[in-house]
Amino acid sequence: TYPAKLRVVEVGPRDGLQNESAAVPVCTRAALVGMLAAAGAKTIEVGSFVSPKWVPQMADTADLLAMLPAMAGVSYPVLVPNLKGLEQALATGKVGEIVVFGSASEAFSRRNINCSVDESLERFGPVMAKALEHGLRVRGYVSCVLGCPYEGEVAVTAVVRVAAALAGMGCYEVSLGDTIGVGTPLKARRMVEAVAGALPVDRLALHFHDTYGQALANILACLDLGVSVIDSAVAGLGGCPFARGATGNVATEDVVYMLQGMGIETGLDLARLCEAGAMISTALGQETNSRVARARLSV
Ligand code: HMG
Ligand code: MG
């Protein structure tokens, strides 16, 4: 049976805009976040406190946070790779939730955060402890859960190990990232089933990129396992700068359209989401990657 409602985590302002070759002005980022909140988004991943040399697109995240209004029930999580990032996030006074990000693949871990998987888990320990001490909530990512741009196949046991480690450290939720969108439905389902053997399935989120056009099918294949959170990006923005060829996350508009059609509540307003997607696509000078948004424009 399918869930009656699902939480959708909007990652467009971070996962989407981190990958644009031209930096997006901070006021455009703020306008996008505002439109997403107006569409009903309750969790909006707005940016990262990472090295500006590695990801210049996210360099203004502190300025962005300063521009965002505090809204009841809306949280603005940010990615944090280490203590330096956490200190910057805390200094804004505006962050209630951080996200640490690990990988199931050794090669991707090195390319993305310049350390091995075990070193990353060791590094997250003090970050988590300090974050929890300051009353922040911590979410965790596992990247490359269905394949790696450098290693190819990734063992499900590696995914389970990293997911369990993040949950064990205190992440309230672990998001499973198909970073390069290579997964297919049965493979996705088996991977989620395996992770659900190690931690409660209601603490798992699906973070599927749509590079090979499989993301909605992969989500659907996992929905009756008890997963209750989907990550998506408005207009299907994004990719990862350290995973060449990876395109955006599954489009939020497409996820919401599918779930609405299945009678699953998300609390999101499709028309307003499409407006947010249209605004950012115009600002980027790109056509939207959302099939639903494109279809609605043509009628
Ligand atoms: P490093 O070079 O090993 O770090 O990078 P370091 O500690 O040796 O420091 C080197 C320099 O960076 C120093 O500056 C530090 O101060 C500075 P310098 O002395 O050279 O002037 N530095 C920082 N500056 C700002 N904020 C910080 C910070 N830390 C160090 N937090 C590091 C290691 C992790 C910092 C680097 O590799 C990095 O920033 N990587 C960013 C990776 C990233 O953001 N990737 C994209 C997000 S992951 C993703 O998209 C996948 C996901 O969507 C899920 C999925 O789809 O699978 C989440
Ligand atoms: Mg991603």
pLDDT, tens only, 48-86: 999 999 999 999 999 999 999 999 999 999 999 999 999
Q: Which of the 8 DSSP states describes residue 15?
A: I
Q: What pLDDT is recorded for position 298?
A: 80
Instruction: Please compute Rg for the chain using Cα positions.
Output: 17
Q: What pLDDT is recorded for position 122?
A: 98
pLDDT digits (tens, 9 = 90+) for 206-224: 999 999 999 999 999 999 9
Residue 79 CA to ligand 1 center (angstroms) comes to: 10
3-state helix, strand and coil shares in percent for the chain, rounded to the nearest 5? 45, 15, 35
Query: Among 50, 122, 143, 191, which residue has the most ligand 1 atoms within 8 Å of its CB, making it the best to mutate?
Result: 50
Considering only CA atoms, which residue is closest to atom 47 of ligand 1? 240
pLDDT at 246 over 90: no
Please state the pTM of the whole predicted model.
0.97
Residue 79 CA to ligand 2 center (angstroms) comes to: 11
pLDDT digits (tens, 9 = 90+) for 104-143: 999 999 999 999 999 999 999 999 999 999 999 999 999 9
pLDDT digits (tens, 9 = 90+) for 165-205: 999 999 999 999 999 999 999 999 999 999 999 999 999 99
Q: Could you tell me if the CB of 141 is within 6 A of ligand 1?
A: yes
Q: Could you tell me if the CB of 48 is within 6 A of ligand 1?
A: yes
Task: Let me know: does 134 contact 179? Beta carbons within 8 Å.
Answer: no
Q: What pLDDT is recorded for position 297?
A: 86
Which two three-digit tokens encode residue 19?
A: 């990958």
Q: What pLDDT is recorded for position 16?
A: 95
- Taking the CA of residue 177 as reference, the ligand 1 atom at the shortest distance is 57
The dihedral built from the CA positions of residue 155, 245, 167 and 188, taken in this order, carries a sign that is: negative
240 as an active site residue: the answer is yes
Can you tell me which residue has the tokens 């990129």? Answer: 209
Give 159's contacts (C-beta < 8 A, 6+ positions apart): 104, 142, 145, 176, 191, 194, 195
Query: Among 15, 51, 206, which residue has the most ligand 1 atoms within 8 Å of its CB, making it the best to mutate?
Result: 51
Interface confidence (ipTM) of the complex = 0.98
